[in-house]
Amino acid sequence: MYEFTYNASALGLGGVIEKGGCTTIIPSLASVALAPTGGEGSAVVENYCRDGISFSRAESRVYGYKTGPKLYTTISDIFITNLSVFGQLKVALLSGTVTSTRHLDEPDSRFELRAMYRGVEADGEETIPAIDVDICSCPTYEEFVGKIRSNVPQFAAQFGVSETKLADAVGIGPDEAGLLRREINPPRDVIRGSIVNAVHRSNRSLTAQGNKLTIPGLGSVRFGELLVKKGRRRVNLLRFEFGPEESNEESHDFGGSLTVASGDGNGSPVWPNG
């Protein structure tokens, strides 16, 4: 007879800012982890305003329950309202949910992701992250890898990586015609992708590539970053890399990174003691 170990976490916001030779730690705000035995957990932070970062409310929730014979469900849920990052990126509402179900007779968990962005402004102009519903609803690791293999050029552009790197990650190489179709290696343990396939913006001076938007004076922000491995999904609705991207740019006194609205979930059967 099996037992089950739950694993889920949710984070409102946290990271590091480097400015003027000083390092400022942004603590892990509204952070919560699920007990290995399941149940519920939550964390709330309201009216935060420090170090150029502000929001009205960040709330994280995690759940883990046995929902049927040999069936276990884990949920990680996060939302944030009125976020502002140095006044250059503002979001009225961010929300995301990672749901996993695991049947003990099946080899892997099944996942579903939901996300929402409302009222996004970059440098004062409307910005719309377009969510890839097919990626969000891709249930297993094998199906995710299969979807990527079916169209490496499309997903390389969406994820903001080269076709060669993505093909290597999912374990395929060129066939006799030079097309990336032939399986040559197992896929990597962890694959980085995105649930956002484009960032539409009214300010055409801002550069967008796949899910990444570059904002002068701030750095880059990736929308809907997704980490996928067998039995695990993590989504970061926003991830900032502050400062200039190129090392030869003049300003070197601003850097660091920030993760906003992050959640993951999985779970695994274990043999009982005794």
pLDDT at 274: 42
Q: Is 177 exposed, middle or buried (0-12, 13-18, 19+ CB in 10 A)?
A: exposed
**Per-residue pLDDT tens digits for 163-213:** 888 988 998 876 644 555 566 778 888 899 999 999 998 877 899 999 999
Contacts of 14 (CB under 8 A, 6+ apart): 26, 27, 28, 29, 31, 258, 259
In terms of residues, how long is the chain? Answer: 274
Q: Which two structure tokens, joined as six digits, stand for 158?
A: 């969406």
Q: Where are the domains of the chain?
A: 3-269
**Per-residue pLDDT tens digits for 18-53:** 988 899 999 999 999 999 999 999 999 999 999 999
**Per-residue pLDDT tens digits for 107-152:** 888 999 999 999 999 999 999 999 999 999 999 999 999 999 888 8
Tell me the whole-structure pTM to 2 decimals: 0.90
Percent with pLDDT over 90 in the chain: 67
